[in-house]
Amino acid sequence: MGLLLLHVGLLFLMFSAFSCSVRSEDAQDLFVQNPDSEWERMETEIHKEVMPARAPKRKLGRGSVTGQQRAHAPGTHYLIVSGANEQNVDFEPGQGARPLPSSAAGILLGHPPNALQAERIRDPKRLVEILCHVDRMYVRIKREVFKTVDAYKYLKLGTCPVNAATGVHYYLLYLLVTDCGFKQESKPDFVHISNALTYEPTTPVVREMPFTIPLLCKYPRYFYSYQTGFHPKLQGGTIFKPLDLMNSLTLTAQDAMGNAIPGSKTYTMGELMYFEAKQPQNSGQKRLYINKCFVTASPNPTSSPSYTLIDNQGCMIDGKVSATSAFLTGASKTSLRFRVTAFIFKDAVSSSSSTQKLYMHCEIAVGPQTATPALKACNYDAASAAWKGLYDDDDSVCTCCNSTCPSVQPRASKRMTLSNSWNVDLSEEEAVETLTGVSLEDPYSPAQEDFLTYWEHDFQK
């Protein structure tokens, strides 16, 4: 079976003021209605943003400009430029008169020396196509690539499945805010949004080779505009701005009495650990929530290995593994405590170290006093095999803990916070190793060797 090589046409687009709405159900349904129409609509909007405009005027007033300088490239609405070679010094005010620098003339005439070319890589066969916009990534792949009718089940954009299909294409149409594994990386001149299109069939036999296609959208950071006059289109809506209190949220380790533990503490495996998420005292009556928490062996939240304790917008999922893991009530809802037992990553144990250093990462949010499925604190009750709200008599907000809970909106109301590190002592392993050499034979067994001999006889009597 030959390996099918796919060449992705990456379309690198610039930021714009364009915005549009996508029906919320479109991001969830497997097959979105009219995906071809949605693809064509987005292509049209993108074309409007990058289509050529009238070239800038060549008159610079009095002064000499060479013919070579006048013969610049066709003008566009924007020219992508590098921020590393800014020519701002050429336009600083000064006394007297001075010749116009050639670099400044190039900027005014539409061919600045720091201009960058937008990359466009196209696949002639258009087997795989991608559309990049400021708020979304659209990918489609032709069905002729596959030989099986249910290939879409094993095709994913990051972690997100196919959500639309026609007789010609499979579509993966997702906003960047969707939890599909989009990765953002800031470069000097571009912002990179990356992901991967993967096909990994799990069937006993395969008729196409599995593949992974890296996808990259490059959004330029700097532009020169040559359009005279801007006429903004005003649109209604709500703008959310992060409050300063979000930068003051803290996550600290505590003892069982609620006292903060300074520095780095060393625990033994299985020992209870307490943590408190807290907001400033002057933050009003907002209630504090913990959407998710996970532990890593590095302060980098994307590092591996990683173990999740709280997830799904406030569900203590580790409570299904360890009964002692739980949210704890407090005197005020402006803070939230929880406890878990100390553990280690077995694959990260080093023979040269007697301790393992770990870090807690928590996404903390503030919201209304009454919990919702998107903002809550739910513990798992093993006795009833049900989820229970921490403060709320109505446990219905916790029912989604067994499925997928809605995300909190807006993004400005939540923040990822890092705790101080702590150590877990590995010396308990020595006690386990010692037990392996201990005999568990009953020391009094020789005195009772005849017990079984007479047991059956006595029983029959």
| Nearest to 371, CA basis, from 331, 346, 408 | 408
**Cβ-Cβ contacts under 8 Å for 209 (sequence gap 6 or more):** 1, 2, 3, 4
Say yes or no: 188 and 293 in one domain: no
Indicate if 408 and 374 belong to the same structural domain.
yes
> What is the average per-residue pLDDT within 208-234?
79
Q: Is 70 contained in some domain?
A: no
Give the per-residue pLDDT at 70. 35
Highest mean pLDDT among 28-42, 50-64, 144-158: 144-158
365-411: per-residue pLDDT in tens?
A: 988 889 999 999 999 999 999 999 998 767 899 999 999 999 877 65
Q: What is the CATH number of the domain that holds 214?
A: 2.60.40.3210
Domain final residue, candidates 167, 195, 225: 225
H or E segment to which residue 220 belongs:
strand 211-220
Other beta carbons less than 10 A from residue 249's beta carbon: 20
| 149 shares its domain with 214 | yes
Residue 437 placed within a domain: no
Q: Are residues 217 and 288 in the same domain?
A: no
Residues 6+ apart with CB under 8 A from 266: 355, 422, 423, 424, 425
Task: Give the confidence band of 244 by pLDDT, cuts at 50, 70, 90.
Answer: low
Per mean pLDDT, which range of 45-49, 179-183, 364-368 is the poorest? 45-49
Give the closest residue to 139 by CA, choosing from 116, 120, 163, 115: 163
Evaluate whether 336 touches 330 at the Cβ level (below 8 Å): yes
Residue (of 71, 69, 107, 70) closest to 88 by Cα position: 107
How many H-runs (helices) and E-runs (strands) does the chain carry? 5, 24
**Does residue 62 lie within any of the structural domains?**
no
Q: What's the token pair of residue 394?
A: 């109505």
Q: Which of 6-20, 113-127, 275-289 has the lowest mean pLDDT?
A: 6-20
Question: Cis before residue 305, ω within 30 degrees of 0?
Answer: yes
Is the same domain home to 157 and 216? yes
Which residue has 């109505």 as its token pair?
394
Domain range enclosing 394: 244-430
Strands 78-80 and 223-225: antiparallel
Say if residue 54's pLDDT is above 90: no
Q: Which of 162, 192, 225 is the last residue of a domain?
A: 225
Provide CB contacts within 8 A for 184, sequence distance 6+: 191, 192, 193
Q: 């005439």: which residue's tokens?
A: 109
pLDDT at 201 over 80: yes
**Amino acid residing at 242:** P
Tally the domains of the chain. 2
What is residue 106's three-state secondary structure? helix
Supply the pLDDT for residue 234: 67
Judged by phi (left if over 0) then psi (alpha if -120 to 50, else beta), residue 237 lies in: left
Three-state secondary structure call for residue 419: coil
pLDDT digits (tens, 9 = 90+) for 450-461: 544 554 555 444
Percent of the chain whose pLDDT exceeds 90: 40
Q: Which two tokens stand for residue 27?
A: 């991001």
Whether 372 is covered by a domain: the verdict is yes
Final residue belonging to a domain, choices 193, 225, 257 = 225
What was the pLDDT predicted at 307? 95
Evaluate whether residue 460 is within a structural domain.
Answer: no
Same-domain status, 215 and 333? no
Q: Is 17 among the domain residues?
A: yes
Per-residue pLDDT for 11 more than 80?
no
Question: What's the pLDDT at 119?
Answer: 64
Per-state percent for the chain, helix, strand, coil, to nearest 5: 20, 30, 50
250/220 same-domain check: no
Q: Which region among 24-28, 52-56, 93-97, 419-423 has the lowest average model confidence (pLDDT)?
A: 24-28
pLDDT, mean of residues 5-29: 34
Q: Are 219 and 251 found together in one domain?
A: no
Q: What is the pLDDT of residue 240?
A: 67
- φ and ψ of 433, to 5 deg: -65, -35
pLDDT at 15: 32
Range in 84-93, 154-163, 253-262 the model is least confident about: 84-93
Q: What is residue 172's predicted lDDT score, i.e. its pLDDT?
A: 94
Confidence band of 354 (pLDDT split at 50, 70, 90): confident
Nearest to 175 by CA among 19, 294, 295, 331: 19
Domain identity same for 130 and 177: yes
Which whole number is the average pLDDT over 103-114? 73
The answer to whether residue 447 sits within a structural domain is no
**125 and 38 in one domain?**
yes
> Is a pLDDT exceeding 80 seen at residue 174?
yes
pLDDT at 320: 93
DSSP state of 92: -
Both 218 and 309 in one domain: the answer is no
Provide the mean pLDDT of the chain: 76
Task: Give the per-residue pLDDT at 426.
Answer: 78
Residues 215, 248, single domain; the answer is no
Q: Look up the CATH number of the domain holding residue 419.
A: 2.60.40.4100
Query: Is residue 351 situated within a structural domain?
Result: yes
Q: How far apart are CA 366 and CA 302, in angstroms?
A: 24
Q: Scan for tokens 């006595």, then name that residue.
A: 458
φ/ψ (deg, to 5) at 47: -60, -40
